[in-house]
Structure 1
């Protein structure tokens, strides 16, 4: 045997930067899909209001849509266990495409609000099935040592598309082709991204049922809920994940008026600042995942995520308030905030290691937390803004992040989980076993 024959194969560029090579095209497709999904983020609400839909009706549309997203985020886990992530992604792509067409033809084109409400709500089931189905696929096919980096790349693609590059695409397309045609272009991007991910990614685990054959459908679905009390650490992780991005959704409600009326920024300056915050977020999504593979997932979430966000939230408020009109200082504060919120990304790599036998169910708990944050943040604004105004909201979120930091102390990997992973690796077995045999 020659020296060349015994040397291990040289890792690909994708593997060297933390992307599992068999899933490379999935990440590319996810980015394109989420760009298409994010195209409307910055202009759907004003478009509908300018075409006769009341602000209250638009708010209801988005609220019901958010509920659908929450439900679908949870369903992505058990459905992936039942049918395999790839089929779940196909279903998500199909739902998004079909109901976007119905939304545009029967709702937007005719001005029918009931048609818009139904079609847009059902369409809300689409992107979580596609995106979080792929996250389950990542957990199934990625070695534990690489999960942090892979999760970072997932969130890099996810938030890079929605809303960052999606909104940028809309800002370029609308002046050229108009608002309605831009809606249709978003459909094209979603379909293109879905086909790239699903036709070019041939990693075998994603095409197969992940749960053991002896686990019933009821066991799979009930297991994805009962895991919250059977493995209480998943419930804690869900709460931490809800706190993570709740402030983002709250800030989209309260910060535009704060920066334009109090700080003295113009609307374009506020939009530029928001873009900087999200750009920081997507870059640090990737960095925090890679850092977690070296320093430990819980360490990054606890210190950079929870403690960091408890500090960055008031900084993002008080620094611009103290320096009216200073865009540079506001941007630096926004970058700090975006980075600390991104440091929660390693949760997506930590939770599958806490529950190595039930990765899809554990990730569905995180999906439920992510979906819940879309309404928890605005709800906190609704409930508490009359108490101390924006300043009171700021300190509520700072306190919540500190509380999340205490919760992360509980998120250690159990001995039985480490032992299961060690034995499976020693036997050369697939480390993904789907939902445990829960009856």
Structure 2
């Protein structure tokens, strides 16, 4: 696997189309990120009801993410990606027709929630392909490019295009357009990755052995305390991202007391979100490379955790202090783009902590990443009704400080 032609000094040429597929697929998945919560409240539902939809979605994302690493190993990453692609597409159609189209809240929760099982299978199964084809010393760098592809799709294309498409065709039709992008990305992966070399040793196990391997994705969390603490750090890493996607439109968009708005337009907010994601394209790559030299955990501690706490503080207090000031609101978006990407080496940390069970370790990594989809909106659901948006912001700040402390106790051998 290591003898094939390498691009950029680390990436097997056979994987390049996988990165492209990730970017396109996640663009479709990200179309809704900056406006769906506000769109649901504009339909007449409360902020709590809107947040609950994302909380249910995040919970199922977490479950799928947890399974994806081991599932990818025992059925091959390509098959797992295919299942994720089909599941996302089918349930998005159901969400649009039976949920949004019929204004049926229970079906919105069910269909959108089940759709959450799809993208982690597609996205994180590709991580297993990376680990199986890239040397351990280059995993952090490879994952930097992986998260850059994710940012290009989910954040830049998915965040930027709706800001200009929505005023022309409306938010409902923009949601339908996301399906086209997902289908294109899914088909690219099916066609171009089918012959990529994979470790099929666990794919050839008996059903009983596969079941035992799947259980390792649970037991390893409790048998290895370093994995457990790393999981908490990874959950906290992106929790504010998914929380901000819910609460920041409420803070920035609108002009009346009910909206708690500062007068920003939806397009302005979407552009602010896009700036954040554009920054992460470059910082994911930079931090991926630097992590191999600075130290995986040292980088996560100071630049990810402490820096993230400062960025969260700025994301709320700069707009509140300066009001409807578009340029000032961009500053915390850029700051956050720098800090959130500093956690890129965590993938390498998980793989190094369990070298004989990398699939199970990556499943815990994926579970942690998926749980942030749940924890972020859940914090908003709990804190906003009780303490307002500022309460949620301080909860995210406290989590980053807690994560910084945890990194002091994680022991990993960085080669």
| TM, length-normalised to structure 2 | 0.86
Alpha-carbon distance in structure 1 between the residues aligned to 2:294 and 2:245: 32
CA contact (8 A) 1:248 1:377 kept: yes
Alpha-carbon distance in structure 2 between the residues aligned to 1:112 and 1:35: 26
Question: Residues 383-408 of structure 1, C-alpha deviation per residue, up to 9 Å, x if partnerless?
Answer: 45577655554444333222212212
- Single out whichever of 291-300 and 324-333 deviates more from structure 2: 324-333
1:327 Cα offset (Å): 3.9
Alpha-carbon distance in structure 2 between the residues aligned to 1:259 and 1:181: 24
1:293 Cα offset (Å): 2.6
Question: Residues 319-338 of structure 1, C-alpha deviation per residue, up to 9 Å, x if partnerless?
Answer: 44454555434322321122
Alpha-carbon distance in structure 2 between the residues aligned to 1:53 and 1:371: 26
The correspondence for 2:127, drawn from 135, 139, 146, is: 135
Alpha-carbon distance in structure 1 between the residues aligned to 2:102 and 2:385: 39
- Single out whichever of 39-48 and 327-336 deviates more from structure 2: 39-48
The correspondence for 2:154, drawn from 133, 158, 162, is: 162
Question: Residues 36-78 of structure 1, C-alpha deviation per residue, up to 9 Å, x if partnerless?
Answer: 1122333444555555666655444333222211111111012
- Single out whichever of 365-374 and 220-229 deviates more from structure 2: 365-374
1:138 Cα offset (Å): 1.2
Is residue 53 of structure 2 the alignment partner of residue 61 of structure 1? yes
1:10 Cα offset (Å): 11
The correspondence for 2:264, drawn from 258, 263, 266, is: 266
CA contact (8 A) 1:148 1:348 kept: yes
Question: Residues 71-129 of structure 1, C-alpha deviation per residue, up to 9 Å, x if partnerless?
Answer: 11111012112111111101111111222233334444444444444332222211111
Q: Counterpart of 1:250?
A: 243
Alpha-carbon distance in structure 2 between the residues aligned to 1:10 and 1:20: 6
CA contact (8 A) 2:34 2:245 kept: no
Question: Residues 150-209 of structure 1, C-alpha deviation per residue, up to 9 Å, x if partnerless?
Answer: 111111122322243113233344445454543333222111111112211255444735
Question: Superposed, which structure 2 residues align to 1:351-362 within 5 Å?
Answer: 351-362=350-361
Is residue 76 of structure 2 the alignment partner of residue 78 of structure 1? no
Alpha-carbon distance in structure 2 between the residues aligned to 1:240 and 1:265: 35
Q: Counterpart of 2:277?
A: 278
Alpha-carbon distance in structure 2 between the residues aligned to 1:217 and 1:170: 42
- Single out whichever of 350-359 and 257-266 deviates more from structure 2: 257-266
Question: Superposed, which structure 2 residues align to 1:333-348 within 5 Å?
Answer: 333-348=332-347
CA contact (8 A) 2:51 2:377 kept: no
Q: Counterpart of 1:31?
A: 23
CA contact (8 A) 1:23 1:203 kept: no
CA contact (8 A) 1:263 1:321 kept: no
Alpha-carbon distance in structure 2 between the residues aligned to 1:223 and 1:123: 26
CA contact (8 A) 1:315 1:333 kept: yes
Aligned in 2, Cα 1:334/1:36: closer, same or farther, shift over 3 Å?
A: closer
Q: Counterpart of 2:11?
A: 19
Alpha-carbon distance in structure 2 between the residues aligned to 1:381 and 1:358: 35
Aligned in 2, Cα 1:175/1:39: closer, same or farther, shift over 3 Å?
A: same
Secondary structure of the structure 2 residue equivalent to 1:40: coil
Q: Counterpart of 2:215?
A: 222
Is residue 93 of structure 2 the alignment partner of residue 101 of structure 1? yes
Alpha-carbon distance in structure 1 between the residues aligned to 2:387 and 2:135: 48
Q: Counterpart of 2:163?
A: 171
Is residue 398 of structure 2 the alignment partner of residue 399 of structure 1? yes
Question: Superposed, which structure 2 residues align to 1:293-332 within 5 Å?
Answer: 293-332=292-331
Secondary structure of the structure 2 residue equivalent to 1:411: coil
Is residue 125 of structure 2 the alignment partner of residue 126 of structure 1? no
Secondary structure of the structure 1 residue equivalent to 2:221: helix
Count the aligned residue pairs. 407
Aligned in 2, Cα 1:93/1:257: closer, same or farther, shift over 3 Å?
A: closer
CA contact (8 A) 2:57 2:374 kept: no
Aligned in 2, Cα 1:403/1:212: closer, same or farther, shift over 3 Å?
A: farther
Alpha-carbon distance in structure 1 between the residues aligned to 2:45 and 2:217: 38
Aligned in 2, Cα 1:408/1:265: closer, same or farther, shift over 3 Å?
A: same
Q: Which has the higher contact order (CA 8 A, sep 6+)?
A: 2
